[in-house]
Amino acid sequence: MNEWKKEVSPALESKRDEFLLLGYSGATMDEIWECLLARFERNNELEEMKLHQLVNEIMRLSVNEYMNWLTIHAYKGTKTFESKD
């Protein structure tokens, strides 16, 4: 799945810009990617995902789902937040 990250970077950038316009200035492309990977792992969708489906999933990611993911990882103390200190 990580080999597709470069190919879908325009979609990730678009989603990050959308979040920035909505006032979520801390949103990064890497965090959006990690959030999506976590959802795919949770739903066992990693192996059967096609490129166009991946782009669709990026574009339909909601701010609510992204913020929930960030909150859960903040409570768990994952690497994402350890590196920001």
With cut-offs at 50, 70 and 90, classify the pLDDT of residue 83.
low
Instruction: Give the count of domains, the chain.
Output: 1
Q: In the structure encoding, which two tokens stand for residue 70, read together? A: 């960030």
Would the pTM of this model clear 0.75, i.e. be above it? yes
Q: In the structure encoding, which two tokens stand for residue 34, read together? A: 């990690």
- pLDDT score for 59: 97
CA angle, residues 68, 72, 76, in degrees to nearest 5: 170
Domain limits at 65?
2-76
Q: Which amino acid is at 63?
A: V
Domain assignment present for residue 20? The answer is: yes
Query: For 14-46, how does the pLDDT look when each residue is reduced to its tens digit (9 = 90+)?
Result: 999 999 999 999 999 999 999 999 988 888 776
Domain assignment present for residue 81? The answer is: no
Greater confidence (52 vs 80) lies with: 52
Instruction: Report the candidate in 9, 14, 3 with the shortest Cα–Cα distance to residue 60.
Output: 14
- Cα–Cα distance for residue pair 59/31, rounded to 1 Å: 14
